[in-house]
């Protein structure tokens, strides 16, 4: 039976605690879609810095932008952005062995079997290139090419300046009626009868009352954990990295259209190219590497002058046991943290917001909505977790204690089933509402060195000559598309060059 809370009545006042990407994305979406029926207040303190390193996205961000009417060119210019066709995983399979997980589709499937089955047979017949060469996005990334085309377009995402993105979203939210309140929350006031949050008190003495509270306070979980004691599931036994170092550097070359993820001795390094700078970081496991060693490793493997001091960020991988508890919804880092390997953090912010919009409790908060929201979030996050664990576990690296641990650690049963199924049969499956599709799983499993032992018998309906022709036609189509594309940098200059980039170009040209 659905039970309505004792704070009955329509939800009219929404309070977002915390700014940054999570807070302002929440405020921007709610104010744009529901602004005429609700009041949106965002509380943030200038004295509390945001993490601000979530600078790589995945294609799903475009759907949110389209939903709330954000112009792509204006957005990319404002955030000093570039385009992203995938992630280059370097030395993950083994030292010196690289592959790209791209956003596109690879080859051509048939009704009974995915393209990987045809590829496996063609490889056995010595008539195939590497799996990724049959994907336009991957080949375009390798050749540093990019364009947005109306037909036969590329699937893409963005590299962004997180601070500039939050500022862009703030302006958008405020233009749609959201109100920002400056201040530090010093107390969360609960209704004694229901346990719901009634208001938050600020350091200034101001009290902000709300019907629904969104916790975007970051790792602290000021509302969802400190006030409501929701609980946290620790996943560090599957995802052992617990620290990150972040630093920005000047750009020394034209930006490439992909993120670089470079495996190191006890973790991995990211490189995210913007128009005028590069975001760098090292994710590592504190059991195998000290903070000082990590800083040294990162600084030894970056290019260009550093623009800020390296920052150490500590985290525990895992998820909040409930993302929606009473009248509080945790969005962003307050809801948990898987880790940034596949750029899923901003996606999960977006999914939480859009799911809330789809289930918005306009007539009052009911338990059925809370339970369904939490069930859907848990299912989606579990599948993302498995996909990230896959990268660490399926590896040939044995050169350090960290990688030996990852390759031998116990993994979730759900992931083990996927690995076994693919190894034995070449088959993959997509769980409903799952973020990563079949092609993503195939790209990463093959990239990490897991090649199927068998293929679907429908492939044998093709003769060797027909299969060779089939593979060659796909290859020719990919090469034909990529050949027509301009360089990534050329496209940016004509489509969305940022003010910072134009100013630097003028200085360089005298």
In a domain, 378, yes or no: no
Nearest CA-CA partner of 76 in 280, 248, 274, 251: 274
The one catalytic residue among 13, 32, 36, 84: 84
Mean pLDDT of 335-353: 93
* pLDDT computed for residue 52 by the predictor: 56
CATH number of the domain enclosing 203: 3.50.50.60
Q: pLDDT tens digits for 205-223? A: 999 999 999 999 999 999 9
Tell me, what's the pLDDT at 6?
Answer: 44
- Strands of 212-215's sheet in order across: 179-182, 39-44, 13-17, 212-215, 328-330, 324-325
In a domain, 201, yes or no: yes
**Where is pLDDT greater, at 433 or 25?**
25
Task: Please give the average per-residue pLDDT across 366-387, as a whole number.
Answer: 96
Which pLDDT belongs to residue 8? Answer: 55
- Check: CB of residue 45 under 8 Å from CB of residue 220: no
Residue with the two structure tokens 């289930």: 359
Burial 208-219 (b: 16+ CB within 10 A, else e): bebbbbbbbbbb
pLDDT of residue 9: 76
The answer to whether residue 180 is domain-embedded is: yes
Alpha-carbon 15 to chain mean position: 25
Measured CA angle at 362 (ends 356, 366), to 5 deg: 75
134 lies in some domain: no
Give the per-residue pLDDT at 70: 97
pLDDT of residue 4: 42
Is pLDDT of 507 > 80? no
State yes or no: pLDDT of 127 exceeds 80: no
Q: Is 236 in contact with 318 (CB distance < 8 Å)?
A: yes
Sorting pLDDT into bands at 50, 70 and 90, what band is 50?
A: low
pLDDT value at residue 53: 62
Measured distance CA(405)–CA(344) in Å, rounded: 24
Catalytic-residue membership of 84: yes
> Average pLDDT, stretch 372-376?
96
* pLDDT for 5 beyond 50: no
Read off the pLDDT of residues 52-88 as tens digits, 9 standing for 90 and up.
566 899 999 999 999 999 999 999 999 999 999 999 9
Bridge partners (DSSP) listed for residue 318:
234, 337
Tell me whether residue 140 is in a domain.
no
Take residue 93 and report the two structure tokens written for it.
């399979």
Does any domain span residue 184?
yes
pLDDT digits (tens, 9 = 90+) for 240-281: 999 999 999 999 999 999 999 999 999 999 999 999 999 999
Residue 432 belongs to a domain:
no
CB–CB of 140/485 below 8 Å? yes
| pLDDT at residue 114 in the model | 94
Q: Taking residues 299-328, what's their average pLDDT?
A: 96
What average pLDDT does the chain have? 94
Phi, psi angle pair for 125, to nearest 5°: -90, 5
- Between CA 155 and CA 163, with CA 157 as vertex, the angle to 5 degrees is 170
Residue located via tokens 């050329």: 490
Token readout for 310 is 């390296």
* Residue-number span of the structural domain to which 33 is assigned: 13-55+161-234+317-365
**Contact call for residues 216 and 22 (beta carbons, < 8 A):** yes
SS3 272: strand
The answer to whether position 290 is within a domain reads no
Q: How many domains does the chain have?
A: 1
Return the pLDDT at 149: 82
């Amino acid at each position: 039976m659905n039970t309505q809370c004792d704070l009955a009545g329509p939800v009219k006042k929404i309070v977002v605690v915390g700014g940054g990407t999570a807070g302002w994305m929440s405020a921007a979406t709610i104010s744009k879609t529901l602004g005429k029926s609700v009041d949106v207040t965002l509380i943030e303190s200038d004295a509390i810095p945001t993490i601000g390193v979530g600078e790589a996205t995945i294609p799903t961000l475009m759907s949110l932008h389209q939903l709330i009417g954000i112009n792509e060119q204006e957005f990319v210019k404002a955030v000093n952005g570039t385009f992203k066709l995938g992630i280059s995983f370097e030395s993950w399979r083994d030292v010196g062995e690289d592959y790209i997980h791209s956003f596109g589709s690879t080859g051509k499937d048939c009704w009974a079997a995915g393209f990987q089955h045809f590829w496996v047979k063609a490889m056995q017949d010595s008539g195939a290139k590497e799996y990724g060469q049959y994907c336009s996005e991957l080949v375009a990334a390798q050749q540093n090419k990019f364009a947005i085309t109306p037909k036969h377009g590329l699937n893409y995402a963005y590299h962004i300046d997180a601070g500039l993105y939050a500022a862009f979203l703030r302006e958008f939210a405020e233009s749609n009626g959201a109100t920002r309140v400056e201040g530090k929350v010093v107390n969360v006031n609960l209704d004694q009868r229901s346990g719901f949050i009634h208001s938050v008190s600020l350091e200034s003495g101001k009290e902000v009352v709300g019907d629904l509270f969104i916790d975007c306070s970051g790792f602290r979980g000021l509302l969802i954990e400190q006030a409501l004691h929701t609980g946290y599931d620790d996943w560090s036994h599957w995802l052992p990295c617990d620290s990150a170092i972040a630093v920005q550097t000047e750009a020394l070359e034209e930006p490439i259209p992909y993120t670089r993820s470079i495996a190191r001795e006890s973790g991995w390094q990211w490189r995210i190219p913007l128009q005028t700078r590069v975001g760098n970081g090292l994710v590592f496991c504190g059991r195998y590497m000290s903070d000082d060693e990590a800083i040294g490793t990162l600084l030894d493997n970056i290019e260009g002058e550093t623009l800020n001091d390296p920052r150490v960020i500590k985290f525990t991988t895992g998820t909040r046991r409930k993302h929606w508890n009473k009248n509080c919804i945790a969005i962003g880092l307050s809801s948990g943290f898987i880790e940034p390997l596949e750029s899923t953090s901003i996606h999960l912010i977006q999914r939480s917001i859009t799911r809330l919009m789809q289930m918005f409790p306009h007539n009052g908060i009911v338990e059925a909505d809370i339970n369904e929201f939490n069930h859907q979030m848990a299912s989606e996050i579990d599948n993302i977790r498995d996909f990230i664990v896959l990268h660490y576990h399926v590896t040939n690296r044995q050169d350090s204690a960290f990688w030996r641990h990852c390759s031998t650690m116990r993994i979730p049963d759900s992931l083990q089933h996927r690995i076994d199924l693919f190894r034995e049969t070449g088959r993959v499956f997509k769980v409903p509402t799952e973020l990563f599709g079949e092609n993503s799983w195939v790209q990463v499993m093959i990239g990490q060195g897991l090649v199927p032992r068998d293929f679907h018998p429908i492939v044998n309906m093709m003769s060797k000559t027909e299969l060779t022709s089939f593979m060659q036609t796909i290859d020719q189509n990919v090469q034909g598309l990529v050949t027509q594309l301009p360089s990534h940098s050329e496209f940016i200059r004509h489509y969305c060059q940022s003010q910072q980039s134009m100013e630097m170009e003028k200085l360089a040209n005298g």
